[in-house]
Structures are given as structure tokens and as C-alpha cells.
Amino acid sequence: MSILVDRHTRVLVQGLTGAQGAQDTRYALDAGTQVVCGVTPGKGGAVVHGLPVYHTVAAAAAAHAATAAVVYAPPLAVRDAVYESLDAGLRLIVVLAENVPVHDAAAIRARAERADAVVVGCNTNGIITPRQCKLGGIGGDLPERIFVPGRIGIVSRSGGMSAELGHTLKCAGYGVSTAISMGGDAVPCTPMVAYLKRFDQDPDTDAVLIFGEPGTPNEREVAQYLQAHPGHKPVIAVLAGEFQERYPPGASFGHAAAMIQDPADAVSAKRRMLREAGADVVQRLSEIASTLARAGVHPTPTLE
């Protein structure tokens, strides 16, 4: 009941010896994630939370059969860190750093596509399949307060809103198959529509909840996909930032990519496109549960 990560995912942490990497890894271990090792160049031989640290990803991945990486590298080092994981054969990589240069993010995206890999981010809060696996800071130290197992997928351009959506579902008796904070940058390494396609093919996901913002073609691509696939699962969209339409074009509020440069970038235009394509667009979080019920998706018992 997940996409991308589950209890069998074997996680390698690039930057495990740093403060943020060590803290998030402690929380991930407590949540049941199979973190198997870490990598910090020059600190091979160290041990953090009982996990061995290696100089290189290639050595770490080979020794521990890692299948995914979480990258805690500074912005200018992200591209080389991701390339190292791709070259080692890892096909799921989560990148938390913000302010990664746009040309680096574009290069990562192109290389990941050639390798048939998924890179979540940059500027992501992480990804979680509740009670199975969490990568990054998503859910914090007690993710069960926010995310419980269930059959609704989440894709959000905002890390904070990933948590809001998860908690809203929990309070209404629903749970999450997988929640993805895809990042709020102008060039996501994996676009929103790619996650939606995976959820649409997942037998354990009944509906998908997306959170969108002004700027980028992400929501337009989702609308185009829905229009081309009339048999898609129910999609509920929450979009914030309509106020931005009252300001001069090119002004960014919040995330770097939340910028209206074209009329189609505006939230009101995206809402219209998504409605016309068959998504249910809601104005308030309190409308999500009733909208799911009208679509025939009802709360399920908490899944272990």
C-alpha cells in the first residue's frame, strides 16, 4: 500500500554525520525505517546511531544493498551527490536542500530520467509511507500524530501542507498510502504528474490529494493527464495563492517557484483547468472528507 517506499526500502544517508542528517535519521529509525548506512566523504569509519559511515556511496551501497538515498548535502554539492548515488545504482533519491541552482536541478532531472530513477525534490521535506518508511524530515519526531496508514495518496508542493493534508485525512477517519512533499522549486526533479501516474496505477491507493500553488506547469500537466485518462482515480485539488493575482507579474511569494509569469500560472486558471479535466477542486481543507465521500471513497479501518 505505497508507492516508492515501504518497509523493505533500504536507505543510505548522504551526510549522516551532519546535525540535520543525524537528527532526521534518528526519527526515521524510530519510525521503523530500514536505514542501513551513511556516507560522508572523509569520515568513513565513523558510526552514527549504530550505523556505519563510508567515504563513498558506491562502497556503502555495495556493502548494504541500499535501494534509496537521502541527500543532506549543501546546495552547491547536491548535483555531484545525486550523480554519485545514480552511478551506484540507486533509483530513489530524496534531496532536501533548498537554493540548489536551477541549472543543477535541470541536469539532475535529465540524468535521472535517463537512468529511469526518481529524484524527490529539490527543497523537499521528504516522503512517507506511514508505519513503514519515511525519508527526510516529513512528520518530524512523531509522524503518527499526522500520518496514519490508509488509501489516499498525497502530492504537495509544500512540505507544511503535506502535514496539513495528512492530519486532515486522519481527523476524518482516512489514512495515507504514501505522502510526497515534492518541493517548491521552479524545476522539480520529478514533476507532480509523474507521482500522480504512479498513484493511478497503485492498487492500494483509492484517491489522490494534491496541493498546488501559482507558477510552474505542474498542475497544468496534471490536468492534461486527467483529460487524456478519463478512467483515472478521484483527484482532489487544493490550490493556494489566489491573492497573488493582485500583484505585479513576476513577484514570488513563499516558494521560489510561486511566481505568476503567464496567465496560466495563476491559481484561478489552474483551478479552472483541473475542474474541466475532472478533478474535484476544493477551497477549504474541511471540504476534503465530504468530497472523497461523494466520489465513493470512504474511511477505512487503520491499516497496520
**DSSP per-residue string spanning 195-219:** HHHHHHH-TT--EEEEEE-SSSSHH
Checking if the pLDDT of 258 tops 90, the result is: no
Q: 170: pLDDT confidence band, cut at 50, 70 and 90?
A: very high
Per the annotation, the verdict on 255 as an active-site residue is: yes
How many other C-beta atoms are found inside a 10 Å radius of the C-beta of residue 224? 14
Checking if the pLDDT of 304 tops 80, the result is: no
Checking if the pLDDT of 177 tops 90, the result is: yes
Please state the rounded mean pLDDT for residues 178-196. 97
Q: What is the pLDDT, as a whole number, of residue 301?
A: 65
Q: Rounded to an integer, what distance in angstroms lies between the CA atom of residue 36 and that of residue 9? A: 10
Which of 4-8, 84-88, 97-101, 244-248 shows the lowest mean pLDDT across its residues? 244-248
* 55 touches 33 (CB < 8 A): no
What percent of the chain has pLDDT above 70? 98
Where do the H-state alpha helices sit in the chain?
19-30, 57-64, 78-87, 102-114, 159-171, 192-201, 218-228, 267-277, 288-294
How many other C-beta atoms are found inside a 10 Å radius of the C-beta of residue 8? 10
- What's the CATH code, domain 10-294? 3.40.50.261
Q: Rounded to an integer, what distance in angstroms lies between the CA atom of residue 156 and that of residue 238? A: 9
* 13 touches 22 (CB < 8 A): no
Q: What is the pLDDT, as a whole number, of residue 252?
A: 74
Checking if the pLDDT of 184 tops 60, the result is: yes
Specify the pTM. Answer: 0.96
Q: 137: pLDDT confidence band, cut at 50, 70 and 90?
A: very high
Cross-sheet strand order for the sheet of 280-282: 133-135, 126-129, 176-181, 149-156, 207-212, 235-239, 280-282
Q: Could you tell me which residue, 301 or 17, shows the higher pLDDT? A: 17
Checking if the pLDDT of 3 tops 90, the result is: yes
Task: Select which of 103, 229, 255, 298 is catalytic.
Answer: 255
Radius of gyration, CA atoms only, the chain: 19
Q: How many helices (H) and strands (E) does the chain have?
A: 9, 14
Please state the rounded mean pLDDT for residues 149-162. 97
pLDDT, tens digit, for every residue of 55-106? 999 999 999 999 999 999 999 999 999 999 999 999 999 999 999 999 999 9
Q: What is the pLDDT, as a whole number, of residue 247?
A: 83
Q: Is the dihedral angle over the CA atoms 59, 64, 68, 69 positive or is it negative? A: negative
Q: 144: pLDDT confidence band, cut at 50, 70 and 90?
A: very high
Q: Which residues of 10-21 are buried (b: 16+ CB within 10 A; e: fewer)?
A: bbbbbbbbbeeb
- 3-class secondary structure, 170: helix
Q: What is the pLDDT, as a whole number, of residue 302?
A: 57
